[in-house]
A and B are shown apart, each in its own frame.
Chain A
């Protein structure tokens, strides 16, 4: 079974530039998550999709971050413009269960390490 695919693996940009990350979840997984993990901290949920609808985006800085999940499969996360404090690993994860049920297990991708200079 193929895992969660993410690209790029690394990205270095200057502040005020824009950047986009891509995620392809495990086939058939209904729920997709984007987490931000700053060095030394636990993953922080940015946005959670159920199929192509947003379940939770309460911690997404909407003035600069945006995300979409077209057709309920692939997803992209964009930052525009980037700030120094956005330097982190951006993890995409997927789960097979639907909304309202316990998230039994999240399958994580390798992550994208973003450095903002």
Chain B
């Protein structure tokens, strides 16, 4: 089982619709969860972080976390063509020797169509 799993897509949504991106993770002890956006040919940039069960909203973005189900999602409301990118789910996992490391999923490619 992969540590962080996402559907690779592409996920196509019409402009103005809600895009829903999903991610599951294997380490039940993980405490920190992140969504990074990566435009083609560019580096990842952080758009959302979430640490507690429930929803966290920031503008058009809502992150949802369910630790019991080991599931985290990202909703993008009123999707715009500029949202077309690959969205990477990242989970902070404890290292056996102490400290932690950020593990990324393979990413979901989102296409917002006019």
Contact = CB atoms under 8 A, between A and B. Distances in A.
Interface size class of B (residues with CB under 8 A): 20 to 34
A110 B43 contact: yes
Instruction: Give chain A's interface secondary structure class.
Output: loop
B99 A99 contact: yes
Contact of B43 (A40, A44, A100, A108): A108
B98 A42 contact: no
Interface in B21-40: 31-32, 34
A18 interface: no
A22 to B, nearest CB: 16
B99 A42 contact: no
Interface size class of A (residues with CB under 8 A): 20 to 34
A17 interface: no
A116 interface: no
B98 A100 contact: yes
Contact of B92 (A43, A103, A110): A103
Nearest to A108: B43
A103 B102 contact: yes
A57 B86 CA distance: 26
Interface of A: 33, 35, 40-45, 48, 50, 55-56, 91, 99-100, 102-106, 108-111
Interface of B: 4, 6, 8, 31-32, 34, 42-46, 49, 51, 88, 92, 95, 97-107
6 contacts: A42-B105, A43-B104, A91-B43, A102-B51, A102-B92, A106-B46
